[in-house]
Amino acid sequence: MAALAGPALSRPEAPMPSWTVHAAQRRAAMALTAPATLLLVALLLGPAMLVLVLSFTNASLGLGGMTFVGLGNYARMLTDPGFATSLRNTALYVAIVVPASIGLGLAAAILIERVSVFGSFYRAAYFLPVAATLVALSTAWEAILHPSFGLANMALGLVGIGPIRFLSDPATALYTLAGIGIWQLVGFNMILFLAGLSSIPEELYEAAAIDGADRGLKRFLLVTWPMLAPVTLFATVMTIIRGFSVFETVVVLTEGGPMRSTTVILYTFYEEGFRYFRAGYASAIAVSFFLFVTTLSLLQMRLAEPRRTRNGGAAS
């Protein structure tokens, strides 16, 4: 739009009536944005709308004919014991993974920022699980967690514990997956916190030192932690979304078992849509999941805005 306005304004010798300029501009703008809009509709909005429409039907993949069932699929989600189980599992997973991976990520970031020698090595090492393919790494975890001759049980055996049937025992499977989730997300949060730490102005620490908060917990509580608030908020929301989206480890390691103990929302969605062919119900799950994640993101934006200005004021 700005580029279009340029030439139009640089021709003062031909003063056109303003409505003509506007109409021409509008036409040009429409012509120029049409390809992008078309692609957007065809590739993003169209399928999304289709999913929304499907979620109100009883469509089954490949079976001709579907009927409109209104909010039936959504009502079923509320009463389906299978969905309730997967919701419970996912909530438990998120409740473990989010605080642990944020706490550990923050701790790792603070420690790494302090060391000068191996800083970049630690950074790379912690970030490795984020950068690598989770599916490939899951296979490595499977070998480590083997119930009889995995590395984990060998190590536990040395101190007289176990063996633990990590992924085969319904009582431990979800916690094991949560452990893998934490292991992966610590690196992700560490990078965010490192960025946050580097943006804290040095003068604040100097000012705090004058006030007597020159080290340790005092300094952390007075300067570091408040200054990291926006980053923490962002990290929390991102980790919650990623926690709710847990899928790969479930597919590769447990397939929702043993005894449904590790079925999570996205796995239920996959099962309903792609194994049981219930396109309508799966669409309803997808739509609900999308709404949930969007709400979370909007909430984060709403919360982050005033906070950022308040901190900005404090810093100046």
Partner 1 sequence: MRVFASTLAAGLMAAGMASAAHADTVLDVYYAWPEMEVIHTPIAAAFMAANPDVKISYRAAAPDYSEAAQTLIRQSMGGQLPDIHYVGFNMLKPLVTRGLIKPIDDLVADDDLTAKGYSEQVLSLAKIDGKQYGLPFAMSTPVVYLNADLVAKASGNPDKIPTDWDGFVALAGKIAALGDGTAGMYYELGSDDWTTQNLVRNFGGQMMNDDETAITFDGEAGQKAVALFKRFHTEGGQPAIDQRSARQMFTAGKLGFYFASAGGVRGFEKQIGDRFHLRTALQPLGSANATMPTGGMVAVILTDDPAKRAAAWRFVKFATGPEGQTIVVPNTGYMPTNTIALSKDYLSAFYEQHPNWYTSVLQTPRARPWFAWPGENGVQIAQIIHDEMTGIANGSTAPDAALADMTSEVKALLPATN
Residue ranges in 53-92 that form contacts with partner 1 under rule CB under 8 A = 60-64
Q: Which two tokens stand for residue 309?
A: 């200005």
CB of 145 to partner 1, least distance (A): 9
- Please identify which residue in 154, 170, 229, 311 interacts with partner 1, judged by CB under 8 A: 170
* DSSP H or E segment with residue 130: helix 119-131
What's the CA gap between 134 and 181, in Å, rounded? Answer: 10
Pick the piece of the chain touching partner 1 (CB under 8 A) from 28-36, 195-203, 258-266, 308-316: 258-266
3-state DSSP assignment of residue 132: coil
Residues in CB range of 133: below 8 A, 6 or more apart: none
Does position 258 interact with partner 1 (CB under 8 A)? The reply is yes
CB of 141 to partner 1, least distance (A): 12
Distances (CA, A) of 3 to 14, 24, 28, 32, 40: 19, 14, 11, 12, 23
Q: Which residue has the tokens 């063996």?
A: 163
What's the CA gap between 233 and 299, in Å, rounded? Answer: 10
Interface with partner 1 (CB under 8 A), residue total: 26
What's the CA gap between 116 and 42, in Å, rounded? Answer: 51
CB nearer to partner 1: pick between 225 and 274: 274
- Please identify which residue in 129, 147, 162, 226 interacts with partner 1, judged by CB under 8 A: 147
Gyration radius of the chain over CA positions: 26
Does position 162 interact with partner 1 (CB under 8 A)? The reply is no
Number of other residues whose CB lies within 10 A of the CB of residue 196:
20
- Please identify which residue in 149, 160, 302, 316 interacts with partner 1, judged by CB under 8 A: 149
Does position 119 interact with partner 1 (CB under 8 A)? The reply is no
- Please identify which residue in 125, 274, 295, 305 interacts with partner 1, judged by CB under 8 A: 274
CB of 95 to partner 1, least distance (A): 23
Does position 282 interact with partner 1 (CB under 8 A)? The reply is no
* DSSP H or E segment with residue 101: helix 81-114
CB of 119 to partner 1, least distance (A): 39
- Please identify which residue in 206, 211, 214, 255 interacts with partner 1, judged by CB under 8 A: 255
Does position 288 interact with partner 1 (CB under 8 A)? The reply is no
What's the CA gap between 196 and 180, in Å, rounded? Answer: 25
* DSSP H or E segment with residue 57: none
Does position 275 interact with partner 1 (CB under 8 A)? The reply is yes
Site string for partner 1, 41-60 (x = CB under 8 A): -------------------x
What's the CA gap between 145 and 165, in Å, rounded? Answer: 8
Pick the piece of the chain touching partner 1 (CB under 8 A) from 4-12, 30-38, 146-154, 241-249: 146-154
CB of 255 to partner 1, least distance (A): 7
What's the CA gap between 191 and 240, in Å, rounded? Answer: 17
CB nearer to partner 1: pick between 16 and 161: 161
CB nearer to partner 1: pick between 123 and 165: 165
Sign of dihedral through CA atoms 287, 289, 292, 295? negative
Does position 277 interact with partner 1 (CB under 8 A)? The reply is yes
CA angle in degrees (0–180, nearest 5) for 135-139-140: 115
Does position 257 interact with partner 1 (CB under 8 A)? The reply is yes
Residue ranges in 174-193 that form contacts with partner 1 under rule CB under 8 A = none
**Residues in touch with partner 1 (CB under 8 A):** 60-64, 142, 146-149, 165, 167-170, 254-255, 257-260, 271, 274-277
